[in-house]
Amino acid sequence: MEEALAATPFSLESGEDCDALLAESAKSDAGAFGELYERYYIRVYRYVYHRVGHTSDAEDITALVFMKALEALPSYRTRRNGFAPWLFRIARNAVVDHYRRRRKQNPLDSIEHHAGDADPVGHVLGTEQRAELRNLMTELSNDQRDVVLMRYAADLSFPEIAATLGKKEPAVRMLLHRGLRKLKAVMDDA
């Protein structure tokens, strides 16, 4: 009995709950927000990067995601969903907005774009690997791509992915399974 009681607080410190509590504190405590930022920056960045395939766009979108998260933090409700799904919904919407904007004609591109469009990281290690992953991602549907990247680049759990995408967990597992089957076929052919 004592063990069961003792176990209760430990279960509260699982990653998701801990992040939700941190998010609650972050509403008034900049340090807590900084902690969340440290936990999620690279996960958001990787997801965004592999969705847009461009370093400077990924940096811009990642910045936008955290700015939006900060502004919207007061409306975050701990009990409704975990923090990760909340944050990754913002990230996913930002990526969708990015593609929507790119589809429109943008005659002032030269004014607004990007002094440093070069990909500095791309010249270092891993260029080929990133290109390989980018090519693989083109084989997948948007939903499959989201699931694969949220699972392996952003390290989200299945319940978190399901909450982010507004789908049932079995549907997420099915999307992943089918995506992996497609990717395996491509990798085997290569």
Binding site for another protein (CB under 8 A): 26, 28, 30, 33-34, 37-38, 41-42, 45-46, 49-50, 55, 58-64, 66-68, 70-75, 101, 104-108, 111-115, 120-121, 125-126, 129-130, 132-133, 136, 148-149, 151-153, 173, 176-177, 180-181, 183-184, 187
Report d(CA 17, CA 83) in Å as an integer: 8
Structure tokens at 37: 């930022």
20 or 52, CB closer to another protein? 52
First to last CA, the chain: 57
Nearer to another protein, 120 or 166 (CB): 120
Question: 6 or 108: whose CB is closer to another protein?
Answer: 108
Nearer to another protein, 21 or 121 (CB): 121
Q: How far is the CB of 189 from another protein (least distance, A)?
A: 13
Q: At a CB cut-off of 8 Å and minimum separation 6, what does 96 contact?
A: none
The single-letter DSSP state of residue 99 is H
How many whole angstroms separate alpha carbon 190 and alpha carbon 51?
Answer: 22
Determine contact, residues 43/161, Cβ cutoff 8 Å.
no
* 47/152 Cα distance (integer angstroms): 9
Closest approach, Cβ 80 to another protein, in A, equals 17
Least separation in angstroms between residue 162's CB and another protein is 14
CB of 132 to another protein, least distance (A): 6
